[in-house]
Amino acid sequence: MGQKKVLVVDDEEMLVEFIKIRLEGNGYLVETATDGTEGLLKVEQTNPDLIILDIYMQPMDGYTMLKELRKNEKTKDIPVIMLTASGKKREVFEAEGISDYITKPFDSQDFLTRIGRVLEQGKKSDK
């Protein structure tokens, strides 16, 4: 089936590097972006199997990027895991069709388990 491609979109460089190392060490191909604008470009370029998306970034935040993904026929079914320090907006993102929601800081093994579970479920249209 080939390696799964994961796009990590977050403006915290050290966290992105940590996630990238963990994912690559577990056989994933990883692309990164530092905000939603760059993230949308990377989605077009790489067609990831999963997007891990931070909420609070500038100039384009994760919520805006998620809305843009859902409007595009090519990207609307890509699974998204929201990553944030605040669990307050969970219901909002679930209404937008996210696959999971992880609050920082997180346990890296639980993180990997959740990623595996989301990827097993596949794209939303496959459910």
Cis before 105 (ω within 30): yes
* Structural domains of the chain, ranges and CATH numbers in brackets: 5-118 (3.40.50.2300)
Segment 63-109, tens digit of pLDDT: 899 999 999 999 999 999 998 776 666 666 666 778 888 888 888 89
% the chain with pLDDT above 70: 87
Cis before residue 79, ω within 30 degrees of 0?
A: no
Q: What is the pLDDT of residues 56-76, one digit of tens each?
A: 889 999 989 999 999 999 999
Full-model pTM: 0.89
